[in-house]
Chains A and B, each alone.
Chain A
């Protein structure tokens, strides 16, 4: 049986189910308990699990990220909520230097089974300090895994996998998608990491994206089919580390064209990495170089029109696909 729920409900269901299943799992973060979640993701969880498992934190991201890491080294399974991944920058030393390297530095003695999760990317006129897309910054670091769901079904299935994963997982949500509704089964399911989903089939051009921009890609694909007669195959990567290159390559071998859509800046980015890997794997299959669509290479502006212009919007994606098909 399936019902329609919001993205935020899917996240909450994943956490609550895992907390019922495993007493080692707990949630900590700013406003997660008494306030019921700054974005209502953890609504009702304090009432169910009590203050020892749903724990309010002061505004000390570096401190509570490190606290979670210590607890994970002892074998607990912390979920650390960042109200925004933008605020994780002050915790960079803990989340980049400690969590992903502990297993290696200790020669296999201490793992770090922890989930860091929160809103990533533009939230809607939040200005440059609060609009970070951290995927390109953080995906560079070995030892961590990174999941970035684009819909409620994936949010729940991927988060449950993240919580059970023995390695540190960076889980990237989007404030703009928390109210997004979608079908989610009532029965338990998990989505394994490293398995991309094909959101739309098409034979003319492959579009690869992650997280919220998958929706921009779907919008662009609609217009391209209707206005330009170009059928795009849209691939939702779902996880960045591990990256499901196989699914992408299979599609590019069919379409011979590839556009990568990534909401972070272009320089040294996830988009560049995917483009490089596709170019290596599909050198003889490509009819054009891999095209990339990113946020513009500027700090995120406040003005609504400028923010919209900066994002990898459907107009930019359509333009890239047309160019990849020698129609631009």
Chain B
């Protein structure tokens, strides 16, 4: 039993058993979650290496520790439900179905990247999988998320004359709670009955500022949503089964009611804010406490205990994930740099002056991007 104490409202963490496996979810599906989480973890480990080798530049934020959130949320929604997130976005892209090579090549600044190397780590977009970015300014995606939900409803109801049941998930970090854009977005979502769920990936720190030092009512974030008439739930974001079950119910409620929702998704990032963060604002004890409750290990134990997979099976899965990520690096190394003609491409849809129009990235021109 860990004696580690964190302020009220933080993720609990620590070595605890997972929830029982959800009834009605086929083993194949459970293994898919496990593999997706392993893939994100391996991908991010290799991302950090590639950053140190200077294959990746700029700002880079890895998702290690938070894998259960993206994977559980994707599992709880339908492919046609729009998603949008902030800059710690590799996990969302992979969970949504972007091939690892397009995600890695984007960070390598190569033409094969999802945005032809023009977006970088913070701007993962995938039209085929309804991922609307990857946004670099804290909180800026929250009004845009309201707009995605507005559009699904407008398309389905005003243009097609039917009833809409699409739900938008808009992810944000706990630091975005203090941006004006977030509060304007919640007010608009509440006012216009928009089917959007704001998922706060509350990892306890906005860069080096703990949530208690930056945010009022950190012990009970639901009051922020209550101020806008929006229902809130709290979810253990370090347990993919909890994420799936609670998000699934919440998303279905949103589908039925077309009312927005707010999720205090309690999680923890195992690494620094970005690649340059020495993590002096938290203790190594605290980190060890959360690492002991690693969401991937938690799911693995539950799957093994239930006989869904055995130890050799886990090894086979890990080998295939390692090979997939290695392949993504080889592919990204080999992908050409964007030609200089790309500089004036994709600025405007229309051609005029020095601008050469726009075209889709290679990713969307390939068969079977999943």
Q: Which residues of A contact B253 (CB under 8 A)?
A: none
Query: CB-CB contacts of B131-148 with A at 8 A, as 1s and 0s?
Result: 011110100101111111
Whether A142 is near chain B, meaning CB under 8 Å from some CB there, is yes
Closest residue on chain B to residue A74 by CB atoms: B151
Contact of B119 among A60, A98, A107, A166 (CB under 8 A): A107
Asked if B349 contacts A66 (CB within 8 A), the reply is: no
Smallest CB-CB separation from B354: which chain A residue? A142
Complex interface: stretch among A108-116, A128-136, A215-223, A287-295: A108-116
Looking at the assembled complex, report how far the CB atom of B201 sits from the nearest CB atom of chain A, in whole angstroms.
20
The reply to whether A68 and B147 contact each other, CB–CB distance below 8 Å, is yes
Q: List 7 A-B contacts (CB under 8 A).
A: A58-B191, A60-B187, A71-B147, A74-B147, A94-B140, A103-B358, A167-B350
Task: Using CB atoms and an 8 Å cutoff, list the residues of chain B in contact with chain A.
Answer: 82, 84, 113-119, 123, 125-127, 132-135, 137, 140, 142-152, 154-155, 157-159, 180-181, 184-185, 187-188, 191-192, 345-350, 352-353, 358-361, 364
Contact of A73 among B126, B144, B187 (CB under 8 A): B144
A52 touches which one: B117, B143, B152, B158 (CB < 8 A)? B158
A127 contacts the other chain (Cβ, under 8 Å)? no
Interface residues of A in 90-147 (CB under 8 A from B): 93-94, 97-98, 102-111, 113, 142-143, 145
Contact code string A62-98 (vs B, CB < 8 Å = 1, else 0): 1111111111111110000000000000000110011
Chain B residues closer than 8 Å to A52, beta-carbon distance: 154, 157-158
Instruction: Name A's B-contacting residues (CB within 8 A).
Output: 23-24, 26, 52-53, 55, 57-58, 60, 62-76, 93-94, 97-98, 102-111, 113, 142-143, 145, 165-167, 194, 242
Contact partners of A73 in chain B: CB under 8 A = 132, 144, 147-148, 151
Interchain pairs with CB closer than 8 A, number: 165
**CB contact between A53 and one of B114, B152, B158, B349 (< 8 Å): that residue:** B158
| A66 and B142 form a contact (CB under 8 A) | yes
Contact A108 B137 (CB under 8 A): no
Q: A65-B143, A103-B347, A109-B115 are in contact. Are A74 and B82 (CB under 8 A)?
A: yes
Which single residue of chain B is at the shortest CB-CB distance from A55?
A: B192
In Å, the complex CA distance between A113 and B154 comes to 16
A104 to chain B minimum Cβ distance, whole angstroms, is 5
A65 to B191, CA, bound (A): 16
Q: How far is the CB of B343 from chain A (nearest CB, A)?
A: 10
Looking across the interface, which residue of chain A has its beta carbon closest to that of B157?
A52
Contact B154 A62 (CB under 8 A): no
Max chain A CB contacts within 10 Å: which of B114, B132, B137, B184?
A: B184
How long is the Cα–Cα vector from A108 to B155 in the complex, in angstroms? 22
User: Closest residue to B342 on the A side, CB-wise?
Assistant: A107
In Å, the complex CA distance between A75 and B144 comes to: 13
> Shortest CB–CB separation between residue A228 and chain B, in angstroms?
37
Further 20 A-B residue pairs, CB within 8 A, beyond A67-B150, A72-B147, A105-B115:
A55-B192, A58-B187, A60-B184, A63-B188, A65-B143, A66-B147, A69-B147, A70-B147, A76-B151, A104-B346, A105-B134, A107-B114, A107-B118, A107-B360, A108-B346, A108-B361, A109-B360, A110-B127, A167-B348, A242-B352
